[in-house]
A and B are shown apart, each in its own frame.
Chain A
Amino acid sequence: MADVPILSLTTFLPLVGALFILLIRGEQEAVARNAKSVALWTSVITFIVSLFILTGFDPSNPGFQLVEEVAWLPAFNIAYIKGVDGISIWFVLASTLLTPICVLASWDAVEKRVKEFMIALLVLETMLIGMFTALDFVLFYLFFEGVLLPMFLLIGVWGGPNRVYAAYKFFIYTFIGSVLMLLAILAMYLTAGTMDMRVMVDYPFPSNMQIWLWLAFFIAFAVKTPIWPAHTWLPFAHVEAPTAGSVMLAGVMLKMGGYGLIRANVQMLPEASFFFQDVVFFMSIAAIIYTSLVALAQSDMKKMIAYSSVAHMGYVSMGIFAMNQQGLDGAMFQMLSHTFVSAALFLCIGVAYNRLHTREMAAYGGMAKNMPRYAVVFAIFMFASVGLPGTSGFVGEFLTMLGVFQVSTWYGMLSATGLVLGAAYMLLLFRKLFFGKLEKPEVKAMSDLSAREVAFFAPLVAIVIIMGVYPASFQNVYNPTVEKILADHQASLKAAGLIEAGAPETAELRTETPATQPASEN
């Protein structure tokens, strides 16, 4: 498999499918049917191809693997470089897994302009995979921005009543964030003399420059992640987007922010990350507590899940900047868990919405009686979102909190309140939808999950439980990379004199442990 450019293949296969769909002509119904099947086949094949990335990946190697390198624009020192490491590989697979699920979920839900919808979805997949596998900063930026276009159309053309406002807000927020990142990339290029991210990771940028670069990157990724207070576009985008749009948004696009924070902020700008640690903690805790409270007050179920996403991503940003093994491990795990759980929750809401065409919780009730299968599926993901042991959500939140407690007990305590609030609003949502009397006639008439719906929920249920019961299966792949990132991070902090040479971890420094304490490695 070594000589097959497997990453490029995975990236551009969906685009090929999109081109095929573009060529479909004929009767409107036939076009819609063919477009759907081409999209499904393309995305399934892409998923199968992407599994070869996993088989070709050596988890014990912490560096970049399966690297492809072609000179592209020598005039600007830009090359086409692709590769994956432990951090990015899961996100590639998550993108390829969620796309066929999205196609299935939109099978009947999308009625107008099906052909264009499928094209947008496949282009989105290409952009997402391309972004996670890019190792040249310009390539990274191209794909990062390329995501905007299909998502803008998905929200704006197939969205709800307030879709235009939501699409604009989504676009302008993310665009302004990322153009600042572009300036930072240009400045880094002029300093380091290369666009190769592998080189930049090791390049020691001057300390005062790091502060500004860090801020520019942080704004871009904080909007994407989203971190409070840059999260306000998210509820609108989620509420108005069609189900498939919400799934891709919550499942993969938010992870672009977390991935970027690890790759650019932590790996390339370690000193500034150390400097801004408290700011990030403050913003993350604000996100966890504030957005959980806001979620509690929602009557629109999609909006509630959207706010819960912000809260869950708060754990991610906190875990990343805890800068210790548990924290970063936990952040990775939490991101993966959130990928599947939130995607599944949006799919669940899509199921109800397709039948009743409202997102108001009050319109439902008592569905546990006439839709038992749906209730079970919903309950599994609800518990995973709350963080019940045995589900993926527990592992992620537990590890992140473990990491945060090492930094500061107060931060840990405050962030723990999010767990309680999370349980409160999710249980409230579940109670309102599934319990109570089944008295509304239109709810009574709703049918349980169809075979197609079961087909796309089944893999998600399996993943969420496997991740909860045997987390090492996922962790083993990225653990060596995380260890290396942290080791590099400590090394550069020591080189900069920010932590003392003997101190094993930043956490110890903050509690003012004497430097004479023997170093204990994780």
Chain B
Amino acid sequence: MATFPDLAPALPEIFLACASMALLMIGVFRGEGSLRLVSWLTVASFIATGFLLLQGPEGRNVTFNGLFVSDSFGTFAKLLILIASSLAVILSVNYLEKERVARFEYPVLIALATLGMLAMVSANDLISLYVGLELQSLALYVIAAFKRDVAKSTEAGLKYFVLGALSSGLLLYGSSLVYGFAGTTSFDKLAAVLEGGASVGVVIGMVFVAAGLAFKISAVPFHMWTPDVYEGAPTSVTAFFAVAPKVAAITLFIRVLVGPFGDLAMQWQQVIQFCAGASMIIGALGAIQQKNIKRLMAYSSIGHIGYALVGLSAGSQEGVRGVLIYMAIYLAMNVGVFAVILSMRQSGRAVEEVADLAGLSKTHPMLAFAMAVFMWSLAGVPPAAGFWGKWAVFLPAIQAGLYPLAIVGVIASGISCFYYLRVIKAMYFDDVTEPLDRPTPTAGFVVAGAALFVFPVYIVFLSPITSGAAAAAAALFGAR
């Protein structure tokens, strides 16, 4: 086995690793004031990574002695992650400069976190899963506390670190149990071993692994950190947290559950169904009282992860397709909303209360309209894209006979309307208290692009995204 591993499947990751080192060097040698340059170079390297990804070898390729897999399932998720990370970097630059934390480490850390996510998504072994996950998490802990002079931000970073370490511990413990009872950490071998049924030890280990991953996607009951971290972290970091890590973790979640533990579906489906139902309910109820829009979005994201998990809990290929579609739409909606939140400034000072949006429809009609579109979409009201996301996950759930879960889901989406409408109410029904500053052009472009994607572009381009997600899901199930 001393042969040199095939590097072609992992080329994008290798490129990004080298690129982030180079970016760090550039930052170090240029010193202060190099944020802009490093940021744009980071975006460029993300784009190059995406290009390499699309040029990569077709079909399913395993390399590094079975530790690393590249398939179209991974490619779909990686493209989403790269898009989300690029947009997060683009949106951050102005914010960091205005908040006087313009340090070049920020885009580099995002690049490293993104590298970790790509590695996670391609993990084909419990060890490589853990390595990728930790690379991502460590970078995220640091940027959560990026405003190190602000108590709230350091608190958020610390909280995230302590709870994140706990969840990593759970995951490692689970992995060790699985290894102990099944005798292997490789996903492919695990799938073969577990084909004929599993011992209780493996099931317990699997549940621990699932708990660790549920923490990363902030599914109930491992959601407690989300509102605090979202609120405390700098807004540009929250914008990043809300999307890319969620996409990465949920794709990893799917890969672990469907791949090695696919034959234990009967066992994990119950767990996922509970998490899905509870997340939808907590997400809907928790946000009602929130006045801070970042906390509101934290609960909203908990709820949305619940909807995505509805697709996974169906345990079918259509269900996985639904989750992927859902995450693509979730990405557009959340990037758009956070671009608006990042633009919320009154006389140069960042504000983050829902009430600060009062009368936005009079001062910034287009911004308000875009935000309203995002809110409709998040609430799942047709014809915005969010509705099609719900459609894509509820259809397989009904097909699998999960009627109670589907009913809980739609009722929760009815309740969640209340707080999405509150944002619209503030913008359209209330009178202006203090007008917001003009948004920066970059934020304006991102908002406009995301809004156009959510409605109406998504409806027109529904087919390519759906078929991409379908191919990705088929690749995952085909490998089994």
The residues of A with any CB-CB pair to B shorter than 8 Å are 73-76, 141-142, 145-146, 148-149, 152-153, 156-157, 163-164, 167-168, 171-172, 175-176, 179-180, 182-183, 186-187, 189-190
Contacts and interface: CB of A to CB of B under 8 A. Distances in A.
Contacts of A156: 425, 428-429
A219 B462 CA distance: 30
B398 A187 contact: yes
Interface string B309-322: 00000000000000
Contact of A179 (B376, B395, B410, B418): B410
B383 A146 contact: yes
Contacts of B380: 179
B425 A164 contact: yes
Contacts of A149: 376, 381
Interface string B375-389: 010011111000100
Contacts of A171: 417, 421
B410 A172 contact: no
B417 A172 contact: yes
A189 B417 CA distance: 26
23 contacts: A74-B463, A75-B463, A76-B395, A149-B381, A156-B425, A156-B428, A163-B429, A164-B425, A167-B425, A168-B418, A168-B421, A171-B417, A172-B418, A175-B381, A175-B414, A175-B417, A179-B410, A179-B414, A183-B398, A186-B391, A186-B394, A186-B395, A190-B398
Contacts of B394: 182-183, 186
Contacts of A163: 429
A182 B398 CA distance: 11
B421 A180 contact: no
Interface string B442-476: 00000000000000000000110011001000000
Nearest to A176: B414
Interface of B: 376, 379-383, 387, 391, 394-395, 398-399, 403, 406-407, 410-411, 413-415, 417-418, 421, 424-425, 428-429, 462-463, 466-467, 470
B463 A142 contact: no
A172 B15 CA distance: 50
B376 A183 contact: no
Given A183-B406, A189-B395, 16 more contacts: A75-B463, A146-B382, A149-B381, A153-B428, A156-B429, A167-B429, A171-B417, A171-B421, A175-B417, A182-B410, A183-B394, A183-B410, A186-B394, A186-B398, A187-B398, A190-B395
A142 B398 CA distance: 20
A179 B413 contact: yes
B398 A73 contact: no
A142 B418 contact: no
Contacts of A190: 395, 398-399
A73 B466 CA distance: 10
Interface class of chain B by DSSP = helix
A182 B376 CA distance: 17
Most chain B CB within 10 A, of A146, A152, A179, is at A179
Given A172-B417, A180-B407, A182-B410, A75 B462 contact: yes
A504 to B, nearest CB: 38
A412 to B, nearest CB: 37
Most chain A CB within 10 A, of B382, B391, B398, B413, is at B382
Q: Which 10 residue pairs are nearest across A and B when measured between Cβ atoms?
A: A176-B414, A179-B410, A75-B466, A142-B382, A186-B398, A145-B382, A156-B429, A142-B383, A175-B414, A183-B406
Contacts of A183: 394, 398, 403, 406-407, 410
Most chain A CB within 10 A, of B391, B418, B429, B463, is at B429
Contacts of A182: 391, 394, 410
A182 B391 CA distance: 9
Contacts of A179: 380, 410-411, 413-414
Given A148-B381, A175-B381, A183-B398, A76 B418 contact: no
A172 B421 CA distance: 10
Contacts of B414: 172, 175-176, 179
A491 B273 CA distance: 42
Contacts of A186: 391, 394-395, 398, 406
Most chain A CB within 10 A, of B399, B407, B410, is at B410
A18 to B, nearest CB: 13
Nearest to A186: B398
Contacts of A152: 421, 424
Nearest to A187: B398
A410 to B, nearest CB: 35
B407 to A, nearest CB: 7
B425 to A, nearest CB: 6
A200 B381 CA distance: 24
A154 to B, nearest CB: 11
A22 B383 CA distance: 20
B469 to A, nearest CB: 10
Contacts of B387: 145
Nearest to A75: B466
A193 to B, nearest CB: 12
A180 B408 CA distance: 10
Nearest to A212: B403
Given A156-B425, A171-B421, A175-B417, A73 B463 contact: yes
Contacts of A148: 381
Nearest to B470: A75
Most chain B CB within 10 A, of A164, A186, A190, is at A186
A67 to B, nearest CB: 22
A393 B472 CA distance: 59
Contacts of A189: 395
Nearest to A163: B429
